[in-house]
Structure 1
Amino acid sequence: MRIAVIGAGALGGTFAALLSRAGHEVEVTARGAQLSAIRERGIRLSGGFGVANARVAASETLSARPDLVLLCTKAQDAEEALVQNAAALEGAAALDGGGGLDGVPVIVVQNGLDGVQTAERVLPNSECFGLLVIIAANYTTPGEVRVTTAAPSYLGRGTGPADAETLRWRGVLAEAAPVIAQSNFVGAQWTKLIVNMLNGLPAITGLTVQEVVAHRGLRIALTRSMREAVQVGIASGVRFGSLQRLSDARLRLFAHMPLWLGQLLPLSMKRRMGNVPNLGSTQQSLRRGQRTEIDYLNGAVERAGLVAGVATPVNAAITALVHEVEQSGEFLSAAHAIGRINAFG
């Protein structure tokens, strides 16, 4: 099968390499040093899914209509990436009579809540799905990705049971990596958003996720951000999907726990993560000098809280501080970060 991966960063590179190893014809989009490295040496994958050296087609925009698209850009880049690649394929179709991108199934591999809707808006004739990824992968140097935590991914759409098309594409992806067909996908997106609260504080402090959770003051701030997110979801009428040992019942219980007891949630996540240092995707973006997707993580909780009438001072503070680090290029000490967060309320 011809599969396109738009955005060959850490996760895009991981899936491109695994799908190529499974025998699919893969084309990726990339830019700059990443594009040059992939063209010269392929994508070198190591870590949790084993070793692969995938020689894949690579260009700035897609050169041929695929059978399936994996959209693996950061959330803030998704719409522009789809528009650019659709335009490129429409231009190619005018020359050679091939088809464009609209109508090709799209699997959105992104954090946040809005990715599937964005793809549906840009490509109204495409079947669009979401893939929730728990894999931790580091884009170390151009063309090289190391998987530090291997885990299943969760494919689905909507709020109902996994449908026939979801099961079909799950079968294709499962040839390359563990994938589960997810019912109540929207609820599972909210559960993943709770998990993604792990990203903000490492990006502010420069610490690993494990170090943040081990630090008592940062762990309390993290627990507060998670609790705000769950409370916003409940107020928004969300039924949380089961994901990573989290369920609707467990998260609703967590929302009402005293803070000292609620800290068990991030501590349990740290145990499952293992000892390989995990920077989190937001910090990785900062270290590469790229914009982060914090507005689609903690910022998404803040926006949803405004609609639902739930105060989210910790998520607002984390969003603002990540943007501050983006501008300054300087991480904050743990004590400074905690003080700034507490000042928000």
Structure 2
Amino acid sequence: MRVTVVGAGAIGGFLACKLFAAGHEVSVVARGATLEAIREQGLQLHSGEDVLIARLHATSNPEELGAQDLVIFAVKAPALAAAVTHAKALVGPDTVVVPAINGLPWWYFLQTTQALAGLRLEAVDPGGVIEQGIPARAVIGCVVFPSCAVLSPGVIKHMSGNRLVFGEPAGGLSARAETLAKAFHDAGFDAHADENVREQIWLKLLGNACFNPVSLLVGGTTDELIDDPFVHAVCVEMMDEVLELGRRLGLSPEIDPTQRIAITRKLGKVKTSMLQDVEGQRPVEIEAILGALVGVADRVGAPLPRTRTVYALARMRAKLLGLLPN
């Protein structure tokens, strides 16, 4: 496949390196120090004792690449609208677009027939810029479970996890989702196509909605949050609230807070993406992860008292740090 990854950060760099090593024609759209580093020394992936150096094509100008078979958007939520606008030349009539992003994606309610069908998530896509820039027919939903970090520009550290889930936004299995999952499986991922990718996104959100903002507030890694009995209790209460909201939307992942926390605990000492952004002085994804969730709760009359409290505090913390996106 001709693949372009927009955003060569932690997850984008991880995906790009593995696909390149599997023999795909991979390019990345990057800028600044990251672009310079990739051009000079390749994109580097450290995983355990292994180091993979991908001498792939890197550019800041998507127009020079033309339409691709697969475009992966792996930028943070606050930067997605600008990235989509910048990368329009990559998307042709047969291009598959995979948003490898955190939180609720802009497309989440647009093609479903379940509760809130057709709802546009203004917190995620203000003004509908992303929806206008990416044809709905092109999108394959994606859930990225691995944890990665940027050691330095163009140098990625894979810390844990290898699971990817793909699926049609409208639900059901499709040949293109299964073909995509097979390509990633052949590249070394634990990749699967799922007939209900929206529920898989909710499953990941169950962890992100508590661990990310709480880590922003206290500065702790996930194992530290879980091992503290008081913070652990807060996470359980938040997960219970998010699960109840999911049930109101027809989403019922077969998991409880204890099981979900155990999954994260097995990953070890993980620094959440939101905490990494705080430490790197980058805008945080508070709206995509919690703001959109609270907005959905308002629509269906779900109280979410603990989640709303953490959202208010984390949002204010981000604002005082100058990291709340405009």
Give, in whole Å, the separation in 2 of the partners of 1:76 and 1:282.
Answer: 12
Q: Aligned Cα RMSD in Å?
A: 2.1
C-alpha contact 1:202 1:283 (8 A) present in aligned 2: yes
- The Cα offsets for residues 202-224 of structure 1, whole Å up to 9 and x where unpaired, read as 12111101101111111111111
Alignment of 1:117-156 (within 5 A): 121-124=132-135, 126-156=137-167
C-alpha contact 2:226 2:265 (8 A) present in aligned 1: no
Residue 77, structure 1, aligned to residue 79, structure 2: yes
Aligned AA for 2:30? A
The 3-state SS of whatever aligns with 1:211 is helix
Structure whose CA Rg is larger: 1
Residue 278 of structure 1 and its aligned partner are, at CA, apart by 0.9
Give, in whole Å, the separation in 1 of the partners of 2:270 and 2:144.
Answer: 15
Unaligned segments of structure 2, at least 5 residues: 111-124
User: 1:122/1:200 Cα in 2 relative to 1: closer, same or farther (>3 Å)?
Assistant: same
Residue 125 of structure 1 and its aligned partner are, at CA, apart by 7.0
Residue 205, structure 1, aligned to residue 218, structure 2: yes
- Give the TM-score of the pair, scaled to structure 1: 0.80
Partner of 2:285: 293
Give, in whole Å, the separation in 2 of the partners of 1:61 and 1:310.
Answer: 44
- Give the TM-score of the pair, scaled to structure 2: 0.84
C-alpha contact 2:182 2:192 (8 A) present in aligned 1: no
Partner of 1:273: 267
The 3-state SS of whatever aligns with 1:3 is strand
Give, in whole Å, the separation in 1 of the partners of 2:76 and 2:282.
Answer: 10
Partner of 2:173: 162
Q: Which moved more, 1:148-157 or 1:310-319?
A: 310-319
Give, in whole Å, the separation in 2 of the partners of 1:195 and 1:160.
Answer: 22
Residue 190 of structure 1 and its aligned partner are, at CA, apart by 1.3
Residue 227, structure 1, aligned to residue 240, structure 2: yes
C-alpha contact 2:243 2:252 (8 A) present in aligned 1: no
Aligned AA for 1:105? V
Residue 267 of structure 1 and its aligned partner are, at CA, apart by 4.3
Residue 154 of structure 1 and its aligned partner are, at CA, apart by 0.4
Relative contact order higher in (CA < 8 Å, ≥ 6 apart): 2
Give, in whole Å, the separation in 2 of the partners of 1:308 and 1:55.
Answer: 49
C-alpha contact 2:3 2:25 (8 A) present in aligned 1: yes
- The Cα offsets for residues 79-129 of structure 1, whole Å up to 9 and x where unpaired, read as 22111111xx3xxxxxxxxxx524221011112222446765422275211
Partner of 1:97: none
Give, in whole Å, the separation in 2 of the partners of 1:24 and 1:213.
Answer: 39
Give, in whole Å, the separation in 2 of the partners of 1:125 and 1:224.
Answer: 35
1:320 to 312, 318, 321: 312
Give, in whole Å, the separation in 1 of the partners of 2:13 and 2:106.
Answer: 19
